[in-house]
Amino acid sequence: MKPDARSVFGFLLRYYRPHKWPMILALAFMIPSSGVSLIFPVLTGNIIDQILANSQAASLMNTGGLFLGLLTAQAVVGYVVSVTLARTTEKVIASIRSDLYEHIVRLPLSRMSGHRIGELASRLSSDMTQIQETFSFSLLQLVRQSIFLVGSIILILTTSVRLTVPIVVGMPIIVGAAVLIGRRLRRLSTSTQDALARTSTIVEESLQSISAVKSYVQEPHEIERYSATLGEYVRLAVKGARLRAAFVTFIIFTVFGGIAAVILYGARLVESGDLRMGELLSFLMYAMFVGGALGSFAELYGQIQKSLGAAVRIREIMIEPTEDVGPDAPSVRLSSIDLVGVSFRYPDRQDMLVVNNISLHIGAGERVAFVGQSGSGKSTTAALLQRLYDPTEGHILYNDIDASSYTRAQVRRSVGVVPQDIVLFGGTIEENIRYGRPGATFDEVRKAAADANALDFIESFPEGFATLVGERGLKLSGGQRQRVAIARALLKNPSILILDEATSSLDAESEHLIQDALERLMTDRTTVIIAHRLSTVRTCDRIFVFSAGSVIESGTHEELLRLGGLYSHWCDLQFIR
């Protein structure tokens, strides 16, 4: 096994270590249980020789009774071993799935942006299923067939060396072919799993954006896109199946062709008296064991290679560095924010400076606004304030202390966000509000809903707070989703608040209710308002004007108007002064 294959296999086996004793016990029973099968050809040969020699019925009954007893014992032990291995494998796969999901969730946003959601979902589903099938069945069969192969070769050598030679000579050819084909299968399997992941990605994207798909009448495009990717997956899967089928066919032809030759040669030895008929029958049964084992190795080896291919992709994700949020650190109340020469580039876009040498101060309890055109760096700066990313250059200070002195969890617990595009979880309204503080009582959840002007519409539903909001909250209107998000932020009770176009695209009544709720939310909190609509930021203590990743103007609404710069120009475009 190549070093990379050994490392991947070791990665999988590492999860078996906590369950090593059930595995060792199962293997301890499985090895002799499989070895018992090697006795059956001898017993069968003895029965035939006894029949041909006209032995007494009692002798035949004794041999037959032993045969039946061994068969029963093997069946019982085989059942127990299979159940034990299946139970252990289910626990192991659950551990890998849990660790993989935990690792994905803990990846920093800078790494998450390099993956598509459907691809990650495919790793958790189809790739894990592939590994599960291998470890619950294929490895068990591999051990059994290995015992059959080694044991049968030893026993046929003791039966007749002359008859064994044709079988032993053909084995190196088969093993060599297995190694060469196995390498190709593994590469092909990895490509096949990648193609399957791409189909999952398309399904995820199209179903999440099904409204846009239907609005633009793009059903045929999505169907064609899915069919094309699925066709690529089928092509690769069929290519792998052809390779495995060719290998199996080669083995069947080689092994069973050799057995046919052995039968002809053995018949001559029986005729000349050099071999008993029972010995020939036993030899042929052992030869069938050898042929069956070699034949199954092709499929089992291909299955294991497919699982290793799937494990490669899973391991690639799990070796990516996660972010340490420090969840056990005590909570702090942050209030003032300073950015000192902060610049930022996205890890996968190093050629583009998104935030360029920004220095600004936000005092405790101040309301400030970030305004600017789309792509000017406003939202990225807000993400830096939450420590979703770390600056490429410069420093961020909270309460005049460098951000590195706080854990990410401490910063994020102190920051509440009400985004423009509200995405709720598919549970109940209560669950979505309680997400702000999972340990809150129902009375606290209800009060947060009331303060967010959401209580009336929630209690108008027959199920009240138990109303299911649907996938991504689509069963609620935009204004209702916004108020649920404000209630969630109120329940969290952050000391710093970020409002990202929180009242855009709403009707007048909803906007009035949300503005009223936001006023309560902003009270006694440091607030950053990200806005395109300048009417929402006139009363802010300070306004920072962003352009091309830099802050080019700052001041109050009146000061910026007197300055006659870019902000003043935007005001002229949006409303008459």
Q: Where are the alpha helices (DSSP H) in 209-276?
A: 210-215, 219-272
507 in a domain, yes or no? Answer: yes
Same domain for 266 and 367: no
Same domain for 274 and 394: no
Same domain for 248 and 167: yes
Average pLDDT over residues 239-245: 78
How confident is residue 543, by pLDDT bands cut at 50, 70 and 90?
very high
At residue 178, the pLDDT reads: 65
236 in a domain, yes or no? Answer: no
453 in a domain, yes or no? Answer: yes
At residue 224, the pLDDT reads: 85
Average pLDDT over residues 509-515: 72
66 in a domain, yes or no? Answer: yes
Average pLDDT over residues 60-83: 73
- The closest alpha carbon to 230, from 260, 200, 188, belongs to 200
**What percentage of the chain reaches a pLDDT higher than 90?**
9
Query: Does residue 505 have a pLDDT over 60?
Result: no
Same domain for 368 and 272: no
Domain count, the chain: 3
Q: Which tops the pLDDT comparison, 195 or 460?
A: 460
Q: For residue range 101-139, what is the model confidence (pLDDT) as tens digits?
A: 888 888 887 777 667 776 777 777 778 877 877 777 777
Residues 6+ apart with CB under 8 A from 546: 370, 371, 372, 373, 376, 377, 378, 381, 552
41 in a domain, yes or no? Answer: yes
208 in a domain, yes or no? Answer: no
CATH code at position 33:
1.20.1560.10
At residue 99, the pLDDT reads: 87
At residue 502, the pLDDT reads: 62
Query: Does residue 55 have a pLDDT over 60?
Result: no
How confident is residue 523, by pLDDT bands cut at 50, 70 and 90?
confident
Query: Does residue 57 have a pLDDT over 60?
Result: no
How confident is residue 342, by pLDDT bands cut at 50, 70 and 90?
very high
How confident is residue 357, by pLDDT bands cut at 50, 70 and 90?
very high
Average pLDDT over residues 471-485: 81
At residue 454, the pLDDT reads: 86
Of the residues 470, 493, 516, the one at which a domain ends: 493
At residue 94, the pLDDT reads: 85
At residue 60, the pLDDT reads: 59
How confident is residue 395, by pLDDT bands cut at 50, 70 and 90?
very high
At residue 509, the pLDDT reads: 63
Average pLDDT over residues 268-289: 73
At residue 569, the pLDDT reads: 85
User: SS in 3 state form for 492-525?
Assistant: HCCCEEEEECCCCCCCHHHHHHHHHHHHHHHCCC
Same domain for 16 and 98: yes
Average pLDDT over residues 254-278: 72
Of the residues 467, 493, 519, the one at which a domain ends: 493
Same domain for 262 and 125: yes
Cβ atoms of 370 and 358 closer than 8 Å: no
CATH code at position 471:
3.40.50.300
- The closest alpha carbon to 165, from 290, 40, 296, belongs to 290
Same domain for 256 and 153: yes
Same domain for 398 and 466: no
Same domain for 338 and 448: no
Same domain for 383 and 428: no
Query: Does residue 1 have a pLDDT over 60?
Result: no
Q: Which pairing describes strands 355-362 and 337-344: parallel, antiparallel, or unpaired?
A: antiparallel
Rounded to two decimals, the pTM is 0.70
At residue 182, the pLDDT reads: 64
Query: Does residue 43 have a pLDDT over 70?
Result: no
231 in a domain, yes or no? Answer: no
Same domain for 39 and 109: yes
Rounded distance between C-alpha atoms, residue 273 and residue 383, angstroms = 89
Same domain for 407 and 263: no
Query: Does residue 510 have a pLDDT over 60?
Result: yes
Q: For residue range 203-230, what is the model confidence (pLDDT) as tens digits?
A: 777 776 665 666 556 777 788 888 888 8
Of the residues 453, 473, 493, the one at which a domain ends: 493
At residue 362, the pLDDT reads: 92
C-alpha distances (whole Å) from 420 to each of 178, 346, 457 are 57, 22, 20
Domain that holds residue 369: 326-418+495-577
At residue 337, the pLDDT reads: 92
Lowest-confidence pick of 441-450, 459-468, 507-516:
507-516
Cβ atoms of 398 and 528 closer than 8 Å: no
386 in a domain, yes or no? Answer: yes
